[in-house]
């Protein structure tokens, strides 16, 4: 059980590291966020596997993570149409 926890934590912190390093492009930031969500799903699934057949909450988490991913891609498409690129520094939040 501890090996799964260490591997999941390594996945999560490598996702955090890639999120903080690759902050130039919005697509790379979204991909690293999805990797962090995937690692959280892995941790949740490995934790709930200790309880017998109690995977209902993991399906709810997976549903919300898919909705979050589709919302991020919709925001990316709207920013690409309005600004022409996915550089995070090219558009200002203040206007």
| Beta-carbon count within 10 A of 94 CB | 4
Domain ranges of the chain: 2-83
| Beta-carbon count within 10 A of 32 CB | 20
Q: Consecutive 10-residue runs of the chain (95 residues): their mean pLDDT?
A: 85 91 83 91 85 78 89 85 74 56
Residue 29 has a pLDDT of 86
Half-sphere exposure of 14 (CA within 13 A, CB side): 9
**CATH classification for the domain delimited by 2-83, as one of 1.10.287.3510, 1.20.1530.20, 1.10.10.10, 3.40.50.720:** 1.10.287.3510
Residue 94 has a pLDDT of 47
- Full-model pTM: 0.80
Q: Which long-range contacts (CB under 8 A, 24 or more apart) does 62-71 make?
A: 65/34, 65/37, 65/38, 65/41, 68/37, 69/30, 69/34, 69/37
């Amino acid at each position: 059980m501890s090996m799964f926890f260490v591997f999941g934590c390594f996945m999560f912190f490598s996702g955090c590291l890639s999120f903080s390093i690759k902050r130039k492009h919005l697509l790379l930031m979204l991909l690293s966020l999805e990797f962090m969500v995937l690692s959280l799903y892995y941790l949740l699934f490995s934790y709930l596997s200790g309880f017998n057949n109690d995977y209902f909450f993991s399906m709810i988490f997976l549903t919300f993570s898919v909705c979050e991913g589709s919302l991020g891609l919709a925001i990316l498409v709207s920013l690409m149409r309005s600004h022409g690129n996915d550089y995070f520094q090219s558009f200002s939040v203040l206007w």
